[in-house]
A = this chain, B = another copy of it.
Amino acid sequence: MSEELAPGPTESPPAPRAGPREVWKKGGRLLSVLLAVNVLLLACTLISGGAFNKVAVYDTDVFALLTTMMLLAALWILFYVLRTVRCPEAVPYRDAHAGPIWLRGGLVLFGICTLIMDVFKTGYYSSFFECQSAIKILHPLIQALFVIIQTYFLWVSAKDCIHVHLDLTRCGLMFTLATNLAIWMAAVVDESVHQAHSDSSSHSNTSHSRLAPDPERAGSQVGEDCSCNTAVCQIFQQGYFYLYPFNIEYSLFASTMLYVMWKNVGRLLSSSTHGHGHGHGHSPSRVSLFRETFFAGPILGLILFVVGLAIFIIYEVQVSGEEGRTQQALVMYYSFNIACLGLMTLVSLSGSIIYRFDRRAMDHHKNPTRTLDVALLMGAALGQYAISYYSIVAVVAGTPRDLLGALNLAHALLMIAQHVFQNVFIIESLHRGPPGAEPHDTPHKEPCHGLTFANLDALHTLPSCPPTPTLAGSSPAGPPEAVAIILAPEGHWRRRCLKDISLFLLLCNIILWIMPAFGARPHFSNTVEVDFYGYSLWAAIVNICLPFGIFYRMHAVSSLLEVYVLS
C-alpha cells in the first residue's frame, strides 16, 4: 500500500542539525524486525505449549519469560526517556498524525483497567500465598510497573521522529512491541482456556480433549493442596477474567503506537509541515458533538445500543439456565444481530454512495499511521470472515435445516457483507482530504490531483503536471481555491450525512464489541458447528479467530471516531 505516484511534499533535505542521512534505512529495520520476530516466536512457543495439557511447560515458565521481557522493555523505555529529555535535538521532527488524542486517551483508559486487573490478580494469587511460586505474585506487580512506565512514555513520545542511535532505538521499539504482543497472546490464550473450561463444563462431553483444561491441570494451576474457596478470592478471580478484554486492548493499542514510532525513526519531515501535521492535520477544533448531524444517526444508534445491551443480558441469563431456554435465547440473539448487521451494511453502503458524488480530492500523502490503520482493519476482519465461512459451510453441508440454521446462515452472510462494506467506507473516508469548505488547507494538496478531480478535461489543457511535488508555498493558490468555492454550498448536507453515518456505525460497533468481549458465545451454545466440526476443531477455530474479531470492533470504533471528526 504505497503511493507511487504522489511522493508528497512532506519530505525535504535534513536540517543541518540532524547529521548525515542514513545510508540504508531498510538495513536497520531488518535487524530490529529479526530481533522482534525471534523474541516473539520464543514467547509464542512457550505460551502455546503452556496452554495444552500434557505438555511440560508450566505457567510459571511463561510468567518468568513475560516478567523478564517487561523488565527489559521498561529499562529501555527509561533509557529512551532520559536521553530525549537531556538532549532535545535528538527529536527534530514530530509526526502530527501519530498518536492522536483518542488513541492516547484510550491507552490511558485501558491502562487504568489493566492496573485494576493487576490488583485483582495480585489479590487472587495472594489468597494462597503459601503454596504458590513467587513469580505468580511478582508478575502482576511488574506488569503494573511496566504499564505505568509505558503509558507515560507513549503519552509524551508517540509523535517523535528520533534521529540519534537509530538502530538501537529501532531494536528497543521492536522489543517493546514484541513484549506487548506476547502479553496480548498470553492474555488471549488464558482467556480462551478459561472460556473453554466453562463451556466444556456446561457441555460435558468426554471428547473435549483440547484447550479444555482437565481437572489435574486446573489443580496444578492453583497449587496441589490449595484452592480458591474464600469469597474474596472468588471475587478476585471473577473480576480479573472480566477485565481481560481491557488488558488485551491495552496491549494492542500500545503495539500500534509503537509500530508507528518505529516507522517514524529517522524520518525527515519538512519544516513547513512539522508541528501542524502535513497541512492535512485538520485539528478538531470545533468538535461540538452532535451539533453538525441530523440526529438520526446517533438516536438510532443509541436505540440499538440499549436494545442490544438488554438482549445481551437476557441472553446471558437464559443460556446459563436450562436447555430449553437456550434455543429461545439464540433466536433472540441472532435476530437482533441480523437486524443490526443489516442496517449497518445498508448505512455503510449509502456512505460509499455519497462518496461517489463527493469531489474532495483523495489524500495520497505517505502517512504510516493511516497505512497501519488500513492494514489492521483489513487484517483483523479476517478473523470474523474465517468464523463466518466455517459457519456457512457447516450450515449448508450439515443435515438439520431448521429455524436456527437459517438464522445462523443469515447472520454469517451479513457478518461478511457488513465487514466488507464497513471497511470500504472507513478506508475511503480516511483517504479523503479535509472538507472543501476550508480553502486555507487546499493549497497544501497536490494541485494536480485536486484539479484532476474537479475537472478532468482541464488537465489536458494545462502544461504537464510537475512530477516532483512542490512545497506548499510555491504552488499556485488560485485554481484550488476556486475548486473549494465550487464545492462549498452542496458539501454541507453531505458532510452532515457522513457524520450521522459514522456515529451510527460507531455505536453499533460498540454494542457488537461488548457482546463477544464480555462472554457471549453463540458459537458454542448453537450446536450446528460443534456437531459438524467436532468440539476440539471448532473451539480451536473460534478461540484463534474471535480475538481478532473483537479487536476489529475496537479498532473500527477508533477509526469511525476519526472519520466523524474529519468529515
- How many whole Å from A48's CB to the nearest CB in chain B? 9
Chain B residues with CB under 8 A of A13: 464-465, 467
Chain B residues with CB under 8 A of A29: 1
- How many whole Å from A52's CB to the nearest CB in chain B? 6
Decide if B49 touches A533 in the complex (CB within 8 Å): yes
Within 8 A of B (CB), among A456-471: 456, 459, 464-465, 467-469
Decide if B366 touches A4 in the complex (CB within 8 Å): yes
Q: With the chains together, A534 CA to B57 CA distance in Å?
A: 13
Decide if B468 touches A468 in the complex (CB within 8 Å): yes
Decide if B420 touches A452 in the complex (CB within 8 Å): no
A13-B465, A452-B23 known; A533 and B55 CB under 8 Å?
Answer: yes
Determine whether A85 belongs to the interface, using a CB cutoff of 8 Å to chain B.
Answer: no
A386-B41, A467-B12 known; A23 and B533 CB under 8 Å?
Answer: no
Nearest B residue to A399 by beta-carbon distance? B56
Chain B residues with CB under 8 A of A385: 37-38, 41
Chain B residues with CB under 8 A of A54: 534
- How many whole Å from A32's CB to the nearest CB in chain B? 12
Decide if B7 touches A45 in the complex (CB within 8 Å): no
Determine whether A24 belongs to the interface, using a CB cutoff of 8 Å to chain B.
Answer: yes
Contact of A452 among B20, B374, B390 (CB under 8 A): B20
Decide if B398 touches A45 in the complex (CB within 8 Å): no
Determine whether A42 belongs to the interface, using a CB cutoff of 8 Å to chain B.
Answer: yes
- How many whole Å from A364's CB to the nearest CB in chain B? 8
Decide if A467 touches B11 in the complex (CB within 8 Å): yes
Q: With the chains together, A431 CA to B33 CA distance in Å?
A: 17
Stretch in A141-149, A422-430, A481-489 touching the partner: A422-430
Decide if A398 touches B467 in the complex (CB within 8 Å): no
A34-B423, A452-B21 known; A534 and B393 CB under 8 Å?
Answer: no
Contact of A1 among B26, B267, B428 (CB under 8 A): B26
Chain B residues with CB under 8 A of A393: 45-46, 49, 57
Contact of A449 among B23, B44, B366, B392 (CB under 8 A): B23
Chain B residues with CB under 8 A of A12: 467
Oligomeric state, in number of copies?
2
Q: With the chains together, A267 CA to B3 CA distance in Å?
A: 11
Within 8 A of B (CB), among A1-30: 1-5, 7, 11-13, 20-21, 23-27, 29-30
Determine whether A309 belongs to the interface, using a CB cutoff of 8 Å to chain B.
Answer: no
A20-B456, A24-B362, A398-B56 known; A41 and B464 CB under 8 Å?
Answer: no
Determine whether A129 belongs to the interface, using a CB cutoff of 8 Å to chain B.
Answer: no
Determine whether A511 belongs to the interface, using a CB cutoff of 8 Å to chain B.
Answer: no
Determine whether A520 belongs to the interface, using a CB cutoff of 8 Å to chain B.
Answer: no
Within 8 A of B (CB), among A474-522: none
A3-B25, A13-B464, A389-B42 known; A534 and B55 CB under 8 Å?
Answer: yes
A42-B389, A427-B30 known; A397 and B268 CB under 8 Å?
Answer: no
Nearest B residue to A207 by beta-carbon distance? B209
Chain B residues with CB under 8 A of A534: 52, 54-55
A45-B386, A453-B23, A467-B12 known; A2 and B5 CB under 8 Å?
Answer: no
Q: With the chains together, A459 CA to B16 CA distance in Å?
A: 11
Q: Which of A44, A45, A420, A533 has the most C-beta atoms of chain B within 10 angstroms of its own C-beta?
A: A45
Contact of A416 among B25, B38, B452 (CB under 8 A): B38
- How many whole Å from A548's CB to the nearest CB in chain B? 13
Chain B residues with CB under 8 A of A11: 4-5, 467
Chain B residues with CB under 8 A of A389: 41-42, 44-45
Determine whether A336 belongs to the interface, using a CB cutoff of 8 Å to chain B.
Answer: no
Q: With the chains together, A21 CA to B6 CA distance in Å?
A: 12
Q: With the chains together, A397 CA to B60 CA distance in Å?
A: 13
Q: With the chains together, A35 CA to B228 CA distance in Å?
A: 51
Determine whether A116 belongs to the interface, using a CB cutoff of 8 Å to chain B.
Answer: no
Determine whether A241 belongs to the interface, using a CB cutoff of 8 Å to chain B.
Answer: no
Nearest B residue to A54 by beta-carbon distance? B534
CB 8 Å contact bits of A180-203 with B (1 = contact, 0 = none): 000000000000000000000000
Decide if B33 touches A21 in the complex (CB within 8 Å): no
Determine whether A311 belongs to the interface, using a CB cutoff of 8 Å to chain B.
Answer: no
Determine whether A155 belongs to the interface, using a CB cutoff of 8 Å to chain B.
Answer: no
Within 8 A of B (CB), among A261-279: 267-268
Tell me the A residues contacting B by CB distance below 8 Å.
Answer: 1-5, 7, 11-13, 20-21, 23-27, 29-31, 33-34, 37-38, 41-42, 44-46, 49, 52, 54-57, 61, 267-268, 362, 366, 374, 378, 382, 385-386, 389-390, 392-393, 397-399, 416, 420, 423-424, 427-428, 431, 448-449, 452-453, 456, 459, 464-465, 467-469, 532-534, 537
Please list the 7 inter-chain residue pairs (A to B) with the smallest Cβ-Cβ separation, ordered nearest first.
A468-B468, A7-B7, A2-B2, A45-B389, A24-B362, A13-B464, A41-B389
Report 21 cross-chain contacts, Cβ distance below 8 Å, ordered by A residue.
A2-B2, A3-B25, A4-B267, A4-B366, A5-B25, A5-B268, A7-B7, A12-B467, A13-B465, A21-B465, A26-B427, A30-B423, A38-B420, A41-B385, A41-B389, A45-B392, A49-B390, A55-B533, A56-B397, A61-B397, A468-B468
Given contacts A41-B382, A55-B533, 8 further A-B contacts (CB under 8 A): A4-B267, A4-B268, A5-B11, A5-B25, A7-B468, A13-B465, A52-B537, A56-B397
